[in-house]
Structure 1
Amino acid sequence: MDQADIPALLSRLASDEDAARKMAVFKLQSSINDPAFADVFIASGGLVVLRRLIMTTGGNTLAYSLQSLSRLLEVDMGWDIFEGPNAGELVERVVELIVTNPLVNILRGAMSILVGLVSHSQSTARGGTPRTPGTFGFRALKPAVAVYPQFFELVIMQLQSADHALCANALMLINALIRDAVSNDSGPTLLVSSAKGTVPPGEEWSKFIKKLQDLGLIKAVYNLMQSSSLQDLAHSLLEFQTLTKILLQKWRAVRVDLERPEHRRALKGLHLASAPERRQTNGGLTTLSPTGRPSTAATVVAREEGEKETGGETAAGRKSSRRHNPEKWRRLGFETESPASEFEVAGFLGMMDLTDYVRKNEDGFQKLLLEQSSRPLNERCPVARASLAVTMILYEHFEIEKCDLDDIRNGGYYQLIDGGGKAHDKLFRPLLLQWSRLHTAGLHAFFRMWKATGATRYDFDKVAELVRILIDQVVGQASRSKDVLEVEDELHEYDSGRLRELQMDLLELSFEDQWGSHLFQVREELKHEALQFVKEQRIRCLLQGSWFSKPQPHRSEHSRSESLKPGQEKGSRLYQPWRFAKLSHNRRYLHYADFAEQTAHDPGLEALTEKIDLLSTSSVVSNVSNADDAAAAGENGNQASSSLTSLTKDANSASAAAKSTTKITIYSLSENVAPELASLAAAGKTKEQPILTLHPLNHSLASEWLDGLLMLLNQAPITAETNKLVTLVSDYGLKIRLLNVRAEAVDNGPVPGGGQVPSREGLDEDYYYEI
């Protein structure tokens, strides 16, 4: 629309005919977001006409009017409409529409206007004129909300609307209210009522957040963040997530101070909930949780206003308590009898998490304390200290400290939002909104790890590290749509042994990054030591001796073997299905003999009539390898086939033993050929001559003997079982060394003020010591 048409437009807007006004305001909403047009419109008195339409019309005319004002505010113009003696009536009218009007197009425009009103800076007006305090921001809504106290409830209800635009506007309004509340310490005092009248300075924002959360805000936003309509609400949800982190920052920044009645009541509630005298106490616990903080679900019986308390007790009560229980607070898991000082790191956030846990699990809390009291002091799990540790683990996991309100305006975030899919899973963390439940589940996991590991008070940091890894593994890898109940179950059921393995892997990776070259050297040394260890173990298996099967020879080979030794008796030439082999004590000779059956006791060297000199052995060849063994053999340049025939389970049966095709063949350059290998030697396929064959009864025995013989010949092992054993031993050695390394062991140079390490520049090795 041309600027020259503005007078005529204003005339139609002021018309008494509804149809003319409707058409005029419809055209206005499409043109008013042009700054040049808007400037002329405002200069021509258009704000007065637009305000009249909002105050008096209804239906589509009202919807178009609200949309026009919203678009005018989007170009940062028209703010004067909210100033002057009648500005409060306009704000109240917009709030009234949100509370009473069911039409979606009207609700969208009304909420959009309030978003601009609350978000607008409290700076000076154009031309340098100071604004009236409370004209914009959170305070501008106070009089209207006082008239319509159900306003916040109805705004939160719109988060469940099927209209995504309305839902987004409602969330934007909530974000604007929270952002303005937390950015001003004075806060909306008139929006929040206190049981004792005036709310202490600096605590109004917390009361207001609690009010919103009691109305179901957290659950509504959590459902939106997990829904499929995330793309339409992405920016608003991301801002809410950021604001949640800002709130956690502020709660942590609040120092626990016993001069504050609320803090004293919280500690008093902890003490009473622990059943200090083993009886049901009269009173309750102040509820303070990140998803509903603070509230008084179970009210602590308050003392007189003038009563001076320390840790929630009077001077007389304190003397009595200390006389009867000198470990009043240490019994709850604090390190000292001054609990307030132990909240220094976690702040008021830590107190809220602890009191929230105790309130929701009071019976379990009492049973846990009773169970711990029966244990030695050194073995008791410090409940309060564990709660504070879990709070800080969650705080660091969600990177709360790194968050700032400006983050939501970062271009990188918008790129991730537009990425969809995996980018959304990375950017949106709906589990953050379930802070209280995650804290409880993490604390229960701490108790479980403490018990499973048999920890003592000196192992507290180690258990905390396990819980940190557990939360990173379960919560950190949870998808956006994963329900919090599933996460709680995983935290409860995660195997401690598996967690320990994960910790070792992460520990090794961290040291790999920092000490790469040194760690490589240590790993090589440990691998060599492990190889020597496994070599000795394999050779000891040979020294102990083992039974092997002996397959039935073919008739031609049997007759040939009979002809090779004509002087033997016929009985000695009968098939004997068992062979026993054993390495001599000097590890030079391999003794063996054949038997008709396995004897009750292994035969000694004197009963083994045959032997071979291992010094004359040239190679050992076998088919005792599966796919993994073949890969290992290829890496080590050794000869091994890739097939492995399943061995018989009935090792005591001669017929079953005869079916075994797994064998180890020992070759030599000498002419002494074993009778059963004569045919192979006669084939002339190799310059080496086979002198002995062994048929192991199982794969483990085959691995022991094959690699044991190879190691005797100073060759590398080739079976996967042996290589796996070498890796296992070396890895355990490395992990044991890493566990013995402390942070203070790292050389960080001289201490401050301790001087500098002298340089060796210009020095050589020409020096001597004078004795």
Structure 2
Amino acid sequence: MATYGSPVTPTANGKGKTPVMPKVKTGIPHTNTVESKDGQKVRARIDPSLATSEVVRQLCLNLKLTETSKLYALRTDTDELVTDDNLSRIVRDKTPLKLTNAPAIDAAEIVSKLQSRDDFIFRPALRELKKYIKEDEFLTAFLHRDGLRQLLAIIEGYHGNVLSAALTAMDNLMEMDRGWENLPSSFVTRIVTVITTESSINVSRPAISILKRLVEADPRHNPAPGPSSSRGTFSGKGKAPMTVYNYGFDVVYAQTRVRPAFLETVVDRLSSPEATTALNSLRLINALIASVTDEHWDDFIRQLEQLNVRKKVIRLMDNNHGDDLASSILDFQSNIVRITYRRKTTPVDTNNEVHREMLNRVLLAADVPAGDGDEDKWARLGFETDDMRAEFSRVGVLGLECMHDLAVRDREDFSKMILAQANRDPQRRCPFAQASNEVVELLAEHWNIFSGYSTSTSYQPFLLAFHRVHNLTTRFFLRMWNESSATLPDFPRVAALVRSQVKVVLKSESTTSWFEVEREMLESEYRKVRERQMEKLELEDDLLNKAPVRRLREDLYNESFNFVRDQRFQCLMDGAWFVNAVPVVTAQKERPQRAWRFFRLDKTKKYLHYVDSTVKMVIRGGLEDLPDRIEVSQIAEVQLHTGAAAPGLLPNAPSDITANGMSAHPHSFSLISAQGYSLADQVAESAATFSDWVDGLSMLRRDGSVVGKETQDMVNVLTEIGLKIKLLDLTGEKIDIPTAIAYEPPPDNLDFFFAD
């Protein structure tokens, strides 16, 4: 129950005397100041175990209000609605409260005011709508009174500050993931028009956020029904979450055709001096790339490339605009890896008009002298056959695009380069086409394109300039071929030399200028490049310098560890659900009000973002659904087996909470700060999730330690496999392995020790 002191009548200066509060027998009560609508104040001792509706009812009785308590609600002094979920926290913190209209009453009044054309009535109502629309009870009443139609009419007919407020309210509504299941196509067109024509950041920011939500509401991602797989918020106590999956990329892209300048405008705003404008535009571009369907893939990506989106993002890398923009740049970088991977794995098809035209332009730019026919032309370009699908089998359309870019960028220079090889002795000609494809392959290896995703936490501007780097590197390949007087059997040797140069030049690309890359590729002498390659081989290759095999094993162990670490980090960036644990060391054994928590590590690896929920729901990509966060630098230790899960939440789990005490769940862990207090107490749903996250979180710390046996075993297995492959890969250098080992004669006495 809740016990209240007598009302305090405000004096002239708004202050009054506080009455002596009666004792409360149940629990340890907290005292909150509650102010009524007419200015009365009481000091209330509230039992946090009560339902909020019961607290409001007792308050109305104590204040002798004649209306039913259903017309009232409690809010904090910052207008946060008091609910069953936050009542305990508000009572604990002794937050000042006020008795206000129930959300349904506020909704009815606001809908009525929105129909007025009096600015003194209309505008304040719109401001209140922005504030209250994210409250579930308010939204239910607002939708029931046809408030959404009123809001859409305002968005359609107004500009300036009114439009900004209406769009913000709509964006807040869409955050609730219900109520916008049947928006008309005219609304999508209007949002596209606003983004294209409105330059004000207060207008474009919510409009871009709305369009991003529409893009991500893809019916292809609609999960199976059920509380464990639905995305959204509760529409009421005991009801299933509501979910919207009615739009997606195809719907939005169809409306952008109405405004051809839409995409150009969004890309141009990446160059805006306003960091927020650039951030919003980049977020929308990332959402579009991540959601584009196969039907529109080629067309959409081609439009982006023609608008030089990569160059604009590279310019953003040169400025430090904060963590949010940095995270979005890394997301774009990851999207570029996906695009590059898809192009690399897409076969070249001569029946495809675009592919055929690119091949013809390469031939025209090469200006190959007429010979015995098409086969002779392809051979002079360095192809082994005239089957282009087979020739580009390793590098796909990516290889064709890179070759085409090199050919048409400077046709005269390209023609001279091909002619110079054609005039050489056939055995000494560098097969240009094979060299070009080999460079694509080694660049893809350098940036780990083969994985299809990027885990890099640093900027890679040269990855975004893949074609330009390919151009420079291919020219370097041809120059090394000529300067070393190579012949066709030497192709692997020259390729290894180029690979070594790429590793050196692009090692620290986030801090390396394009001028330095050009200088290294265009001016480095063969002799110096070769010496550097041999020095590196002597340091890294145990077979060349006859170092013990364990040195090689140590190198491979580090590579394997980094690989597993990147995989663990990717798991953290993908995110996972955990049970909010009850720490076994707690004195009060209070269960968390929200049983589940979703964690996700951001791209910068600086913050763990999370959201608490009463049920598991689908979390969209990015961080917008995760309002809270923990700074990784605050995590001093990851302690294991520290918490218990409420019974029934996890299958096959031990009975953690008992009458006599609690036992720790085997998959529980806590994040401990340097001061010794817990930042989070979680229980993983499975052993695999537990291993991935405990080890990944541990690796984020400075010492980078490995906690789990599963991870350690994986690193060891990868190390041993890599060692066997290295020891078998000896034929390239034609190294003779002795069949027997010559032993030294035994020592004459025992005055010796074994060296390490």
Q: For the superposition of Structure 1 and Structure 2, which TM-score range results when normalised by the shorter chain?
A: 0.5 to 0.7
Partners of 1:63 and 1:109 within 8 A in 2: yes
Partners of 1:159 and 1:167 within 8 A in 2: yes
Q: CA offset at residue 264 of structure 1?
A: 2.7
C-alpha offsets along residues 560-601 of structure 1, whole Å, 9 cap, x if unaligned? xxxxxxxxxxxxxxxxxxxxxxxxxxxxxxxxxxxxxxxxxx
Q: CA offset at residue 265 of structure 1?
A: 2.8
Q: CA offset at residue 744 of structure 1?
A: 9.8
Q: Which residue of 2 aligns with 1:42?
A: 143
Q: Which residue of 1 aligns with 2:303?
A: 211
Partners of 1:92 and 1:143 within 8 A in 2: no
**Structure 1 segment 214-613 matched on structure 2, within 5 A:** 214-229=306-321, 231-277=323-369, 322=372, 327-404=376-453, 427-480=458-511, 482-512=512-542, 516-518=547-549
Match for 1:66 among 153, 158, 167?
A: 167
Partners of 2:218 and 2:246 within 8 A in 1: no
What are the ranges of 5 or more consecutive residues in structure 1 without an aligned counterpart? 188-204, 279-320, 417-426, 522-737, 749-771
Q: CA offset at residue 261 of structure 1?
A: 3.0
Partners of 1:273 and 1:358 within 8 A in 2: yes
> Which 10-residue stretch deviates more, 501-510 or 150-159?
501-510
Match for 2:115 among 4, 14, 33?
A: 14
Kindly provide the amino acid, as one letter, of the partner of residue 264 in structure 2: E
Q: Which residue of 2 aligns with 1:742?
A: 731
Q: Which residue of 2 aligns with 1:308?
A: none
**Structure 1 segment 84-99 matched on structure 2, within 5 A:** 87-99=184-196
What are the ranges of 5 or more consecutive residues in structure 2 without an aligned counterpart? 1-78, 82-102, 231-241, 553-726, 738-756
Q: CA offset at residue 430 of structure 1?
A: 1.4
Q: Measure the CA separation in 2 of the matches of 1:68 and 1:132.
A: 19
Q: Measure the CA separation in 2 of the matches of 1:366 and 1:739.
A: 42
Secondary structure of the structure 2 residue equivalent to 1:322: coil
Q: TM-score, normalising length from structure 2?
A: 0.54
CA distance 1:81–1:402, shift in 2 (3 Å): same
Q: Which residue of 2 aligns with 1:121?
A: 218
CA distance 1:326–1:168, shift in 2 (3 Å): closer
Q: CA offset at residue 365 of structure 1?
A: 2.3
Q: Which residue of 2 aligns with 1:591?
A: none
1:110 aligns with 2:207: yes
| More helix by percentage | 1
Q: Which residue of 2 aligns with 1:30?
A: 131
Q: CA offset at residue 741 of structure 1?
A: 3.8
Partners of 1:333 and 1:382 within 8 A in 2: yes
Kindly provide the amino acid, as one letter, of the partner of residue 272 in structure 1: L
Instruction: State the aligned residue count.
Output: 446
Q: Measure the CA separation in 1 of the matches of 2:733 and 2:132.
A: 68
Q: Measure the CA separation in 1 of the matches of 2:499 and 2:540.
A: 15
Q: CA offset at residue 100 of structure 1?
A: 2.1
CA distance 1:512–1:14, shift in 2 (3 Å): farther
Q: Which residue of 1 aligns with 2:250?
A: 139
Partners of 2:217 and 2:246 within 8 A in 1: no
Q: CA offset at residue 384 of structure 1?
A: 0.8
Partners of 2:205 and 2:280 within 8 A in 1: yes
Partners of 1:92 and 1:144 within 8 A in 2: yes
| Structure 1 residue runs of 4 or more that deviate by more than 6 Å after TM superposition | 125-129, 131-134, 744-748
Q: Which residue of 2 aligns with 1:558?
A: none
Q: Measure the CA separation in 2 of the matches of 1:20 and 1:512.
A: 81
C-alpha offsets along residues 144-197 of structure 1, whole Å, 9 cap, x if unaligned? 32322111111112112222222211111112222222xx2122xxxxxxxxxx
CA distance 1:267–1:56, shift in 2 (3 Å): closer
Q: Which residue of 2 aligns with 1:705?
A: none
Q: Which residue of 1 aligns with 2:285?
A: 174
Q: Which residue of 2 aligns with 1:185?
A: 294
Q: Measure the CA separation in 1 of the matches of 2:729 and 2:339.
A: 40
> Which 10-residue stretch deviates more, 117-126 or 269-278?
117-126
Q: CA offset at residue 330 of structure 1?
A: 1.6
Q: Measure the CA separation in 2 of the matches of 1:246 and 1:506.
A: 32
Partners of 2:217 and 2:245 within 8 A in 1: no
Partners of 2:375 and 2:385 within 8 A in 1: no
Q: Measure the CA separation in 2 of the matches of 1:454 and 1:140.
A: 58
CA distance 1:54–1:330, shift in 2 (3 Å): same
Q: Measure the CA separation in 1 of the matches of 2:431 and 2:137.
A: 67
Q: CA offset at residue 343 of structure 1?
A: 0.6
Q: CA offset at residue 63 of structure 1?
A: 0.6
Q: CA offset at residue 429 of structure 1?
A: 0.7
Q: Which residue of 2 aligns with 1:79?
A: 180
Partners of 1:257 and 1:263 within 8 A in 2: yes
Partners of 1:164 and 1:232 within 8 A in 2: no
Q: TM-score, normalising length from structure 1?
A: 0.53
CA distance 1:8–1:518, shift in 2 (3 Å): closer
Q: Measure the CA separation in 2 of the matches of 1:742 and 1:107.
A: 62
C-alpha offsets along residues 605-654 of structure 1, whole Å, 9 cap, x if unaligned? xxxxxxxxxxxxxxxxxxxxxxxxxxxxxxxxxxxxxxxxxxxxxxxxxx
Q: CA offset at residue 356 of structure 1?
A: 1.3
CA distance 1:498–1:8, shift in 2 (3 Å): same
